[in-house]
Amino acid sequence: MNQDVLIVGGGIAGMESALTLGDMGFKVLLVEKEGSVGGHMILLSKVFPTLDCASCISTPKMAATAHHPNVTVMTNTRVESIEKQPDGTFKVRLNRQVTSVNPAACTGCGECELVCTVAIPDEFNFDLAARRAAHIPFPQAVPKKAIISRYGSSPCSHTCPAGVKAHGYVSLVRAGKYEEAFKLHMEDAPLPGTLARACYAPCEGACTRGEAEGAVSIRQIKRFMVDRYYADHPEPDYGPPETLLDKKVAVVGSGPAGLSAAYQLARKGYPVTVFEADEESGGMLRYAIPAYRLPRDVVDRDIANITALGVEIRTGSPVKSVKALKDQGYDAVFLGVGTSEAWKLGVEGEDLEGVRDCIGFLKDVNTGKLRDLKGKTVAIIGGGNSAIDPARMAVRLGAAKVLIMYRRSRAEMPAHDWEVQGALDEGVQLETLKTPKRFLGENGRLTKIEYIKMRLGEPDDSGRRRPIPVDGSETEMNVDLAVLAIGLKPNTNPFAGELKENRNGTFTADPETLLTPVPGIFAGGDAVTGPSMIVNAIGQGKRAAFYIDRFLQGESLEGVTFDERLSEVDKQEVLSRGTLSKRERHNAPELTVAERIQGVEEIEGCFTEEEARTAANRCIDCGGCAECHECAETCPADAIDFDLRPEQTTEEVRSVIVSTGYKLFDPHHKEKYGFGKYPNVITAMQMDRLVAPTKPYNHTLRPSDGKSPDNIAFVLCTGSRDCTVGNHLCSRVCCMYSIKQAQLIMGALPMADITIYFMDIRAFGKGFEEFYQQAKGMGVNFVKGRVAEIEETEDQNLLVHYEDIEGGGGHTQAEHDLVVLSVGLLPNPDALRLFKDGALESDPYSYVREIDEDLLPAKTNLDGVFVAGTSSAIRDIPDTILHSGAAAAQTAAYLEKSGVQR
């Protein structure tokens, strides 16, 4: 698609230029970064000095632009760069932004807005009200298409190894949609009850609120959501798929990795058989994790989520070799055998009775083989999470003394601090900077540990300080039982000769596809990664299922991306949005220490509904859209597609008009006026919305308490003619829009007093002076004097300090119940970024420079590039339209003369 003219920016200037050039017969490409054309003007209430409705003037231009046969409009699109070619044409790189909506299918019905669970400050209403993340920009938008506001992945969802949309289910719980929350979770991970209890919740570690008062209690919110769902649904409410595919899959191991792979494959329609060597399914979930952290009925209910799909779990069925499975007719195999073998210390006495590995110990405890340690001294060797569980279990079995022996200090312990603390609370002793040198026994039975003391040296590869033995510090300690928790690896024996191993004893597999060197054999979970989190294993199972499916469908495993996520939002940007108000984190109740150690009752309780929703309400929607997928479920046109990604295209054009408009001055920079601090100090753009026909509230009111203001002040020159904020220029329009608003307020609030604090009233355009005099006649109080400072009173009124020039000078103050800052207009820096290396020249104030304002208005330093409207200087609407006409005329003349061909 080659065009005569590229117009950057679809505000009133861009539209006017586009329509004029289109009428002349030129082909125009109008690119707008927002979701609708119309610019700032469509946001205004009425426009001075005629008091026309801004909508009434804008909408016909917007519609005409969209329907013009010679004008192509691209919204949600950024111009990345423009480069002049040797033949005089311009090469334009465009980037169509993610809206997650297919514009061709969207009918603008707005159903998505009704079900969206995320509220975001509405930029159309200058943050006075909220809108949904799924939204249509405003009622008169052109084109009227929905947009899902996605600023990136929320950190919680982005960090989850299983791709669970944490933000999504938190948002659904917030909205009271508990079943939907559960089902969203089930898309990515089928063991929600387990994760709600035993997940180390990297989501919470990533939560932006963690930088403030504490992360959102995401895991406990999940716990509420799952417990409620399971209470209502003792069994899954679905069955196997109606039709099965003809390729069979074998999964080895029924731990989280295997279950996750089986679940995802079964959902796709594959017949899946899970082979489990143990007597019961669940792997580590059942055999290693203590019930006080993860009750067994929860594991059972979680596993029912998988078996309900028709997945057969054959327990007590160790797999002898991969080949055996292939011989049985399985087309693909997933090995998720976990890490059931413990590393040994390699010291003397390790095979004495009474020296055990943590997995064997926990398995015996969890299967009831070991019920009592009364009076015994138990030493756990190691500092990871796998050391904590045996220690705390030993306490529950009545051990007289339980200690954890670790060779570095507490600070270096890999175990989570709260786990260590839990153990200490329950009476476990910590023996740090010690390591067993040998185990001593009598009659083949352990009686003592001889340990050596350690000191910390320089940091090693892991960043932790290296433990160094202290010579001569050997000491003996009486113990009855020693549990080694120093590391785990998979049992690779059955597959020896078939698969390859890494140096640490794990299977080798491609980290992306999880394919082993043997075709059709995939491996994942702890067996590949080494000991890790449950949620990581679930993610591995899901990943394997994705690639196994492709493998079985004969599709290439290369050139695709599994679970592609938007890049993570910048937390600092999120924090700077100003949507964060302080709300403390609360946790679910826990058993007391005395209660805990009586048995294996679950320590942590569950949120009530109210607590869960309160906790969910602390979410600040970092990524905008929570990916709860409610809109996609609801959309009658099936137009919502979360997999859509930015689209880069290149165009060639013969000329360019820059009409990127202006930026409003941010009044936060004028600290003395208290914007952002005092709720009843608002900007004029907010006031414009308050008096617009499409106003956010039914009445004109002040933000702090919804009261009808009756004494309103306007502070002119906020951010203009003010060297303290770096803007010496006059913004040209503020006097007039303030006078306009004053007139409109007098209509809306006839009893209100209005004061305008000004330096000079600049009513210079056609009909402006008359409009000013009319406002004076209506009773608007004009006070000459610049406002120095604004303070808040107890009842949230504002004290305005000013120099009362006409009253004889001197510092005076007046009280108002609403203050409107008539903010100035600044250049939009986007204009100068369009061309590389600053090729497009600016004037000293960062506006696009017109090389000959007098004779060739709109012409820039680049041949074939013109500027329209406020990109080159602040202008009011009539002047902008005239200037856009000039840009169109210049462009037309250039196109006729230049000879550059399309």
Partner 1 sequence: MSDRRLGVFICHCGGNISDYVDVEKVRAEVEKDPDVVVARTTMFACSDASQEEIKAHIKEHDLDGIVVASCSPRLHLETFKGVAERAGMNPYCYSQANIREQCSWAHRNEMPQATDKAVRIIRSALAHTRLSEELSTIRVETTPRVVVIGAGMAGMVASLTLADMGLDVFLVEREAEVGGWTKRWGKLFPSERQGAELVKELHEKVKAQPKITLFTEAELVEKSGTVGDFTVTLRVKDKSNISLKVGAIIVATGFDPYQPAENEYGWGGDRVVTLRREVKTVAYIYCVGSRQSEDCGLEHPNQYCSRYCCSAAVHAGIKAVARDPELNQYHLYRDMRTYGKYELLYEKASHEGSVFVRFDEEAPPEVFPEGDKMIVKAADVLDAGEDIEIPADLVVLVTGMVPRKNDALIAALKIPTDGGGFFNEIHPKLRPVETAINGVFIAGASQGPKTLSESVASSLAAVAKGGALVMKGYVDLDPHVAVVDPDACTWCGKCAEACPYGAIEKVKEGDKEVARVIDALCKGGGPCVPACPEGALDLKGYTNGQIRSMIESMLKEAV
**Contacts with partner 1 in 101-160 (CB under 8 A)?**
108, 139-144
Q: Which of 458, 413, 457, 460 is nearest to 432 (CA)?
A: 413
Which 551-580 residues touch partner 1, going by CB under 8 A? none
CB closer to partner 1, 374 vs 766:
766
* Residue of the chain from 489, 689, 762, 816 that contacts partner 1 (CB under 8 A): 762
- Least spacing, CB of residue 70 vs partner 1, in Å: 11
CA pair distance 380, 80, nearest whole angstrom: 60
Listed in sequence order, the residues at least 6 apart from 114 whose beta carbon sits closer than 8 Å to its beta carbon are 634
Question: Is 853 near partner 1 (CB under 8 A)?
Answer: yes
What is the rounded CA–CA span in Å between residue 602 and residue 618? 26
The nearer residue to partner 1, 285 or 867, going by C-beta atoms, is 867
Smallest gap from residue 848 Cβ to partner 1 (A): 13
Residues 770-809 binding partner 1 (CB under 8 A) are 770, 773, 784, 805-806, 808-809
Q: Shortest gap between Cβ of 805 and partner 1 (angstroms)?
A: 6
Which range of residues in 327-335, 466-474, 506-514, 762-770 is near partner 1 by CB under 8 A? Answer: 762-770
Regarding 70 and contact with partner 1 (CB under 8 A), the answer is no
Query: Least Å distance between CB 666 and partner 1?
Result: 20
Q: Which of 448, 857, 865, 867 binds partner 1 (CB under 8 A)?
A: 857
Close Cβ partners of 223 (under 8 Å, ≥ 6 residues apart): 196, 197, 588, 604, 606, 607
Bond before 290 cis per omega within 30 degrees: no
Number of chain positions touching partner 1 (CB under 8 A)? 82
Q: How far is the CB of 663 from partner 1 (least distance, A)?
A: 16
Q: Which is nearer to partner 1, 260 or 686 (CB)?
A: 686
Is 63 an interacting residue with respect to partner 1 (CB under 8 A)? yes
Got the DSSP string for 693-721?
TT-SSSS---TTT-PPPSEEEEEEEETSS
520 near partner 1 (CB under 8 A)? no
Binding test (CB under 8 A) with partner 1, winner from 5, 29, 31, 47:
47
Which one, 534 or 735, has the nearer CB to partner 1? Answer: 735
CB-nearer residue toward partner 1: 456 or 889: 889
CA dist 26 → 10, 13, 273 (Å): 17, 17, 66
Q: Are 37 and 66 in contact (CB under 8 A)?
A: yes
Q: Does 751 bind partner 1 (CB under 8 A)?
A: no
HEC letters along 850-864 = CCCCCCCCCECCCCC
| Minimum distance from residue 680 beta carbon to partner 1 (Å) | 24
Compute φ and ψ for 58, nearest 5 degrees: -75, -45
Contact code string over 191-210 relative to partner 1, x by CB under 8 A: --------------------
Site string for partner 1, 876-895 (x = CB under 8 A): -xxx-xxxxxx-xxx-xxx-
Cα–Cα distance for residue pair 482/349, rounded to 1 Å: 11
Of the pair 59, 708, the CB lying nearest partner 1 is at: 59
User: Tokens 């020896």 appear where?
Assistant: 496
Restricted to residues 702-741, the positions that interact with partner 1 (CB under 8 A) are 721, 728-732
Closest approach of partner 1 to the CB of residue 60, in Å: 5
* Closest C-alpha to 235, from 337, 308, 341: 308
Residue 890 Cβ vs partner 1, minimum distance, rounded to whole Å:
7
Residue 626: phi and psi, rounded to 5, are -90, -5
Q: Is 88 exposed, middle or buried (0-12, 13-18, 19+ CB in 10 A)?
A: middle
Shortest Cβ distance from residue 71 to partner 1 (Å)? 13
Q: Mask: binding to partner 1, 813-852, rule CB under 8 A, as x and -?
A: ------------------------------x-x------x
* Rounded distance between C-alpha atoms, residue 721 and residue 734, angstroms: 11
Q: By CB neighbour count within 10 A (0-12 exposed, 13-18 middle, 19+ buried), where does 203 fall? A: buried
Rule CB under 8 A: say whether 636 interacts with partner 1. Answer: no
Q: Which helix (H) or strand (E) holds 655?
A: strand 647-658
- Give the contact letters, 657-696, x = binds to partner 1 (CB under 8 A), - = no: -----------------------------------xxxx-
| Stretch near partner 1 under the rule CB under 8 A, chosen from 378-386, 448-456, 498-506, 854-862 | 854-862
| Dihedral sign computed on CA atoms, order 466, 472, 476, 477 | negative
Contacts with partner 1 in 399-428 (CB under 8 A)?
none
Q: Rule CB under 8 A: choose which of 581, 854, 899, 901 binds partner 1.
A: 854
How many residues can be counted in the chain?
A: 902
Query: Edge-to-edge strand order for the sheet containing 429-432?
Result: 355-357, 481-484, 377-381, 401-406, 429-432
| The CA-based dihedral angle spanning residues 9, 10, 16, 22, taken in that order and rounded to the nearest 10 degrees | 90
